[in-house]
Amino acid sequence: MSKRLRNTLIVVAALILIIVFAVVNGRRHSSVASVTAIKLTPTHFLASLPENGILSRPGVVTVPVLVSGNLASLSVRAGDHVVAGQQLASIDNPTLNANAASSQADYQSAVANIDTARVQEQNSRVQYEGAVATALSNLNEAKRIYQADAALYRQKAIARSQVDADKAKLDQAQVTYDQSVQQLKLGAVSGYGINSVSSAKSAADKAQIINNENQQQLGFTQILAPISGKILTVASTPNDTLAPIRVGDQVNAGQALFTIARDDGWIVRTKVDEQDVAHVTVGMRAQISGEDLGGKKFTGRVLSIAPTAQKSDDPSSTARQVTTVVALDGSAPFFRDGMSVNVDIYTRDIANAIVVPMTALVTEKTKKYVWVVVSGVTHKRVVTTGTDNGATIVITSGLASGDEIIGTPGPTLKDGDHVHAVLPTPSPKPSST
C-alpha cells in the first residue's frame, strides 16, 4: 500500500469517527428534557384579604333646627367649606324675641330690687337695734327707781304700795327688753321683713334662670357650624325635595337643616368575615381600588375593628361579619360619600422573602421539597415553608437567593436527571388573594 493511499484511508476513518460521534452526541442531547426554571431572588411577599367597602367621610354631623320659625337667612350651600362657629343660617321667631326681651327686663329689675332690699334691711336693723337700746334704757331706769324706793321703804319713808308699783314697772321693762332682743335676733334670721335681701336674691335667681332659658332659645335662632368641614347637604323646601330650602320657608324644631363632613380625610367601611378577622389587626396596610376610582389605587391602614360581629348582609348566609374601618392616606377630588370600592387588607407583609409558586412545591408524606437545577442536573431539596397567598408561598429554609428551581415539575422527574433549563426568570411577583 502506497503512503498516499494510507493517508487517504486515515482521513476517511477520522471523518467517519467524527460523524458517528456527532450522531451519538446529538441523540444524547435530544433526550435531555426542557424545563421552565425560575431563578430565585428576594422579593416582597404580600398576602391580602379581599373585601368590598363603602367610601365615606370619617365623621358626618347633622345640624338640626332647634326652634321653629321661618328661615331668615341662609349663608352656605352644599359643597362649601365652613369652620367651627361659622353662622350657617338664622331663624325668625317673634315670640322668642319678645320672651327674651321681657325676661331680660325682669331679671334686671330683680337685680335692682336686691339693692333696694339691702337698704330696707339696713333701715330695719337700725330700727330693731334702736328698740333694743330704748328698752335697755327703760329697764335700767326702772331698776334704779325700784332700788331707790326699796331703800326708802326700808327706812319707812314710803308706803309698801309704791314699792310694789315700782316692781311691776321693773318686771314690765324686763319683758319689753327681752322681747326687743329676741325680735332683733329673729330679724337677723328672717331678713328684717318680707322684702329682705335673701328674698330679693331668690327672686333674682329665679328671674335669671327664666332669662337664661329664653336667651338660649333666642340663641338657637342662630345656626352655627359645630365643626370645621364640608357642607354635604342642605335641607330641601317643604314642597319640593329637589329644591334647596329658601329664605322665608318654614322650619320646625328637630328638622335636619345641614350635614357637615369633618376635615379628617376619608375612610372605607368594610365587613370582614368572622373566620378571617383573626388575621386582621389595627395598623395593617390596605389598598383601595375600584371602577368608581377611575383605575387609580389608594393606600391606607386599618383604623378600627368593631368589638362585635353582625349577621351577614346576605340573607341566605348564616355567617357573621365584623365591621372594619380603613383610613386612607390620601384623597382625590372625585371622591364621594357612598362610593363602592374594593379593599385589599394586607394580612402578611414580608420584605426580602424567598418565594416560590405553589406549583413548584411537591409534598411527599410529611416532607415538602422542590426540584433544584444545578449545572443542568436535577436535585430534590427538602424545604421549610411559611405563609402563602394561594399563588405563592414563602420558603423559610432550604433555598437561597440565586438558586434555580423548576416551576412546574413533571411526575416522571427523578433525582439526577439531565435537563435543559429554559431562560431563568426572576421570582414571580406575589399575587394577592
Each residue's pLDDT tens digit, 76-118 = 998 899 999 999 999 999 999 999 999 999 999 999 888 887 7
Confidence band, pLDDT 50/70/90 cuts, at residue 54? very high
Residue 4 has pLDDT above 80, yes or no: no
Residue 413 has pLDDT above 90, yes or no: no
Please answer whether residues 79 and 230 qualify as being in contact, where contact means their C-beta atoms are separated by less than 8 angstroms.
Answer: yes
The whole-number pLDDT of residue 345 equals 92
User: Is residue 220 classed as helix, strand or coil in its secondary structure?
Assistant: coil
User: Is residue 25 classed as helix, strand or coil in its secondary structure?
Assistant: helix
Q: Give me the mean pLDDT over the 267-277 stretch.
A: 91
Q: Give me the mean pLDDT over the 339-357 stretch.
A: 90
The whole-number pLDDT of residue 22 equals 42
Confidence band, pLDDT 50/70/90 cuts, at residue 428? low
141-155, 353-367, 411-425, range with the lowest pLDDT? 411-425
Residue 19 has pLDDT above 50, yes or no: no
The whole-number pLDDT of residue 208 equals 95
**Which triple of cell numbers denotes residue 173?**
321693762
What pairs with residue 91 in β-bridges? 71
The whole-number pLDDT of residue 88 equals 96
DSSP conformational letter for 407? S
| Site of grid cell 362585635 | 308
Q: Give me the mean pLDDT over the 157-183 stretch.
A: 86
d(CA 432, CA 279): 15
Please answer whether residues 281 and 246 qualify as being in contact, where contact means their C-beta atoms are separated by less than 8 angstroms.
Answer: no
Cα–Cα nearest to 328, from 293, 279, 276: 293
User: Is residue 366 classed as helix, strand or coil in its secondary structure?
Assistant: coil
Residue 269 has pLDDT above 80, yes or no: yes
d(CA 229, CA 257): 15
Q: Is pLDDT larger for residue 417 or for residue 424? A: 417
Q: Is pLDDT larger for residue 85 or for residue 18? A: 85
Q: Give me the mean pLDDT over the 379-396 stretch.
A: 89
The whole-number pLDDT of residue 187 equals 62
User: Is residue 149 classed as helix, strand or coil in its secondary structure?
Assistant: helix
Confidence band, pLDDT 50/70/90 cuts, at residue 194? low
Spacing of C-alpha 171 from chain mean position:
82
Residue 219 has pLDDT above 90, yes or no: yes
DSSP conformational letter for 398? S
| Site of grid cell 502506497 | 2
Residue 363 has pLDDT above 70, yes or no: yes
**CB contact set of 345 (below 8 Å; sequence gap of 6+):** 48, 49, 51, 270, 272, 280, 284, 285, 286, 302, 324, 326
Other residues' Cβ atoms within 10 Å of the Cβ of residue 392: 26
What pairs with residue 59 in β-bridges? none
User: Is residue 343 classed as helix, strand or coil in its secondary structure?
Assistant: strand
d(CA 134, CA 188): 19
Q: Give percent of the chain above pLDDT 90.
A: 41
**Which triple of cell numbers denotes residue 92?**
325668625
9-23, 58-72, 166-180, 406-420, range with the lowest pLDDT? 9-23
